[in-house]
Amino acid sequence: MSHHTIVELHGDGISTELSQSVHTIAGALSSDLSFEPIDLSQPNREARGEALYDEAVEAMKRHGVAIKYPTATTEESPNKVLRERCQFSVIHRPVCSIPGIETNFTKPLDIDVVRVATGGTYDDAGQRIGPDTAVSIRVISRHPCRHASRFAFKLAMKRRSGVVSTSKWTIQKATDGFFEEICDRVSQDYPGVPYRRELFDALLAGIIMNPDRYGVIVCPNEYGDFLSDTACGLIGSIGLGDSSSYAFDHEGRVTLAMFDPSGGTAPDIAGQDIANPTASLLAFSNLLRHLGEEAPGKALRAAIFGAIADGQKTQDIGGDLGTRAFTAIVRERISSALDPK
Pick from 174-178, 191-195, 214-218, 233-237: least confident: 233-237
pLDDT (0 to 100) of residue 340: 58
Measuring CA to CA, which residue among 23, 4, 25, 12 is closest to residue 335?
25
Average pLDDT of the chain is: 94
Where in the chain do CATH 3.40.718.10 domains reside?
1-94+244-341, 103-235
Architecture category of domain 1-94+244-341 in CATH? 3-Layer(aba) Sandwich (3.40)
Q: What is the mean pLDDT of residues 25-45?
A: 94
Q: Does residue 297 surpass a pLDDT of 70? A: yes
Q: Can you list the alpha helix ranges (DSSP code H) found in the chain?
A: 15-26, 42-48, 50-63, 78-86, 142-159, 175-187, 200-209, 221-235, 278-290, 294-309, 323-338
**pLDDT value of residue 1:** 61
Q: Distance between CA 140 and CA 169 in Å, rounded?
A: 12
Percent pLDDT > 70 in the chain is: 99
Cα distances (angstroms) measured from residue 286 to each of 114, 140, 185, 271: 15, 28, 29, 26
- Report d(CA 94, CA 155) in Å as an integer: 11
Q: What is the pLDDT of residue 341?
A: 56
Sort residue 197 into left (φ over 0), alpha (ψ -120 to 50) or beta: beta
- Convert the pLDDT of each residue in 211-228 to its tens digit: 999 999 999 999 999 999
- Structure confidence by residue, pLDDT tens digits, 152-190: 999 999 999 999 999 999 999 999 999 999 999 999 999
Residue 145, classified by CB atoms within 10 Å of its CB into exposed (0-12), middle (13-18) or buried (19+), is: buried
Whole-number pLDDT of residue 73: 87
Q: What is the pLDDT at residue 22? A: 97
pLDDT in tens, 69-125: 999 988 788 998 999 999 999 999 999 999 999 999 999 999 999 999 998 888 788
- Domain topology for 103-235: Isopropylmalate Dehydrogenase (3.40.718)
CB 71 within 8 A of CB 21: no
**Residue 214: alpha-carbon gap to chain centroid:** 18
Q: How many CB atoms lie within 10 A of CB 216?
A: 26
| Count of Cβ atoms closer than 10 Å to residue 27 Cβ | 10
- The share of the chain scoring above pLDDT 90, in percent, equals 89
pLDDT at position 54:
96
Q: Which residues contact 172 (CB under 8 A, 6 or more apart)?
A: 138
Rg (CA), the chain: 20
Does residue 189 sit in helix, strand or coil? coil
Question: In the predicted model, is pLDDT for residue 24 greater than 60?
Answer: yes
